[in-house]
Structure 1
Amino acid sequence: MPFDAASQPLSLPRWHNLKAEEGDGWLSLNLDGRPLIQLHLEPGDTLHAHVRSLCQERAMQALWAACYWLLSRDPTRQRLALHTVACVPEALASGLLLATEQPGVLLCERASFWQLPQPWLGTATGDAYPQLMQLSDGKRHPRRPPKPRGEVYRRFDARLGAWISLRTLEIDQDVERFNRWQNNPRVEKFWQEAGSLEQHRQYLAKLEADPHALTLIGCFDDQPFAYFEAYWAKEDRIAPFYTAGDYDRGIHMLVGEETHRGPHKVASWLSALVHYLFLDDPRTQRVVAEPRADNGRMIGYMHDQCFHCEKEFDFPHKRAALMILGRERFFDHCKLV
């Protein structure tokens, strides 16, 4: 998107008071009413941003905010060149900025920026849990970390003008909603899990006790609209059908609220779900899914988000398409905003 002084400012996760003033070739960001950073901009294949002023007390925040703002304004832009005399070691140590051979010029690469776990994960760290191999049901796999509770991911989607967030499912809070969604004929056609409230309570309790599965509720502006299951592929029924990596994650997806269907909404929540799983453990190299092979609409949406269909195969209960998205491909081609 072009720089336009009349366009609406973007919101940053948990930074509700970030404001911008823009003009022809300049950008000024303010946080909580205080100047944060001022930039002179030179558009090109690589956008050059010359730092004119920088709040030293919030230098890391200022540089992060500038990178976010400029990358979000143009989802096709792959890198920024920041010209600054300020030394912010944390920006280099974290991977936010990369050194170049030219003194005073630092690069921000889109693929690196979106791999930073904060602020998307909130209180979660995104650190790697120690690797300790174990056997369960004859399968050798890493011991999995304790499951999180509460909100695990939040990001403002500038294209929708809404917050997309993920939180863990709480059975007492969510079972009636889950029951209603599963008994929707549209959902039942693909999930085949229609049933009573008690059956669904037992279904969710079984997953809650399973260390390889994580149940999530997707929200737009904190209103629940979808149910997701994330699982470690190495211990899952999908493992015999492809060479599963130790940290591959798989997903099952269900949009329950009719008002939140459509390709623009899928692009938001599917990219958020995949983004969360890649950030949750930096060793995760692939996210996989196995929708029904005749679910052409969902497969098409997944192709739009850079998944590819490896093959079709037969589960006992369905003919499935093996959909795979690699970490490198996601971050190289992602259009997160």
Structure 2
Amino acid sequence: MTQISTITLPGASDCEISLQLLSSNSLAVHDNHQSLLLTLSEQDTALVNAVNESDLPEKIPNHLIAASLDYLFSRNPDLSRLHFAPALAERLQDNQLIHSHEENSQEGISYRSGLYQNRTLWHWQKDNQTIPEIWTENEKAIAHPLRQEQPKCVVYNRYDYQNDLTISFRTLDLEEDLDLFHEWMNQPRVSEFWEMAQSREELTAYLQSVLKDRRVWPMVGCFNGEPFGYFEVYWALEDRIAPYYDCQPWDRGFHLLVGNPEFLGQRYSNSWTKAITHFLFLDDPRTTRLVGEPRADNKRVLKLLCPAGWSFVKEFDFPHKRASLVNCCRDSFFQEVQL
């Protein structure tokens, strides 16, 4: 009952949140400035309230409540929603975390599927604003929305309660990550599928190219701060996959490799598959579908992606390979996948 969980907000290393379950129904949560002591009672509904309402601060920061909700939902997988007592609801920083109210009551309701679409805890931008939709054309005369320049920081950070891991993604840094990238690409297990067992000079040129290309976002995935893999996120509309299905402007996909063999296995794959999927849906709320095109004979990839809500669509022929089209839809991910 005394286990303490600690999480750090992405892009805010000085903001650390600690959570401690004091009993079967009481939770202490605090950051560097404020603390809350909450209780969860389950009668007709699951109700979150303060142990002592007089101890509540005048305004409760979103990140403290979001961290509490994440903690409670993660430990109560059958709960689809949590109710806020009126005294708690009226002190929230704003209404981002309240998705509805009980009729004739000040009691607020937070839905599991709504919480995990909120950026407060996990996304580097934290708010839910999106860039304007401005259309342009690329060098191939393909019309597409103007893509945002990618930040040079940790863009996603989440404590995975199911697997007892902190998983994060950061934009690849050429100087910091080149040696690791070179080592990973030259592993026989990786080069079988990536076919990029190249020299440092060749891989440097490749990374310089993708770092300049807003269509692509090269990222390093880390478990507990240790790099485990490379993820290459892309906008599907500007990618070679677009002509092979009904592509929409905000569809996204990714290529990946797990380079550190210490992080192979189901515990880790269950974590990174859900995390990268979660991040891509958080990164732009207009993204309603994710797609992928693994080699058709690479059956292991789909098996790894299934727990994150991905499914097989069809096989098709690329000029260079026989591929499987796989996808994941926003609605089903947030309704059916337990984070």
TM-score, structure 2 as length reference: 0.89
- Larger RCO: Structure 1 or Structure 2 (Cα < 8 Å, ≥ 6 residues apart)? 1
Kindly state the Cα deviation for residue 9 of structure 1 after the two structures are TM-superposed.
Answer: 3.2
Deviations 1:175-194 (A, max 9, x none): 22111111111111111111
Taking every aligned residue pair, what percent have the same amino acid on both sides? 33
Deviation string, structure 1 residues 196-234 (Cα, Å, up to 9, x no partner): 111111111121121200000001111111000000000
Whole-angstrom distance in 1 between the partners of 2:33 and 2:205: 51
1:190–1:159 Cα change, 3 Å: same
Deviation at 1:33, TM superposition (A): 9.0
Deviations 1:152-196 (A, max 9, x none): 111112233332111111112212211111111111111111111
Match for residue 159 of structure 1 among 138, 157, 162: 162
Partner of 1:246: 249
Are the equivalent residues in 1 in contact too, given 2:236–2:247 (CA < 8 A)?
yes
The equivalent of 1:335 in structure 2 is 338
* Per-residue deviation, residues 136-161 of structure 1 (Å, max 9, x unmatched): 21211111111211211111122333
TM-score w.r.t. the length of structure 1 is: 0.90
Give secondary structure in 1 for the equivalent of 2:6. coil
Map of 1:175 onto structure 2: 178
- 2:124 corresponds in structure 1 to 122
Specify which of 223, 226, 239 is matched with residue 226 of structure 2: 223
Q: Which runs of 5+ in 1 are unaligned?
A: none
Deviation at 1:10, TM superposition (A): 2.8
Bigger CA drift: 54-63 or 124-133? 54-63
Q: Matched residue of 1:119: which SS?
A: coil
Q: Which residue of 2 aligns with 1:51?
A: 50
Per-residue deviation, 1:76: 3.9
- CA–CA distance in structure 2, aligned partners of residues 222 and 134 of structure 1: 37
CA RMSD of aligned residues (A): 2.2
Given that 2:84 and 2:108 are in contact with CA atoms closer than 8 Å, whether structure 1 keeps it comes out as yes
Residue aligned with 1:56, SS: coil
Q: Does 1:278 align with 2:298?
A: no
Following superposition, the deviation at residue 305 of structure 1 comes to 1.3
**More displaced stretch, 243-252 vs 69-78:** 69-78
Write out per-residue CA displacement over residues 17-65 of structure 1, whole angstroms, 9 at most, x where no aligned residue. 5242432444444445964132241167x52334343522452344333
Letter in 1 for 2:232: E
Q: How many residues align?
A: 329
Change (3 A) 1:36 1:209: same
Task: Tell me whether 192-201 or 119-128 shows the greater mean CA deviation.
Answer: 119-128
SS of alignment partner, residue 41 of structure 1: strand
Where does 1:173-212 land on structure 2 (aligned, <5 Å)?
Answer: 173-212=176-215
Question: Whole-Å Cα distance in 1 between the matches of residues 31 and 219 of structure 2?
Answer: 32
| Distance in 2 between residues matched to 1:262 and 1:333, nearest whole Å | 23
> Helix, strand or coil for the counterpart of 2:7?
coil
Kept in 2: contact 1:250–1:288 (CA 8 A): yes
Structure 2, gaps ≥5 residues long? 10-14
Quote how far apart the aligned CAs of 1:98 are. Answer: 2.2
Matched, 1:10 2:5: yes
SS of alignment partner, residue 114 of structure 2: helix
Deviation of 1:330 (Å): 1.1
Q: Secondary structure of 2:193's match? A: helix
Return the letter of the residue paired with 1:82: F
Instruction: Assess if the C-alpha contact under 8 Å between 1:233 and 1:244 holds in 2.
Output: yes
Tell me the amino acid that sits aligned with residue 114 of structure 1: Y
Give the deviation of 1:252 after TM superposition. 0.3
CA distance in 2, matches of 1:194, 1:126: 40
Q: CA separation in 1, counterparts of 2:208 and 2:314?
A: 32
From 66, 78, 82, the counterpart of 1:80: 82
Identify the residue that residue 37 of structure 2 maps to in structure 1: 37
For each residue in 1:226-278, what CA deviation from the matched residue of structure 2 results, as whole angstroms up to 9, or x when unmatched? 00000000000000001111111110010000000111101111211111111
CA shift in 2, pair 1:213/1:21, >3 Å:
closer
Contact 1:76 1:335 in 2 (8 A): no
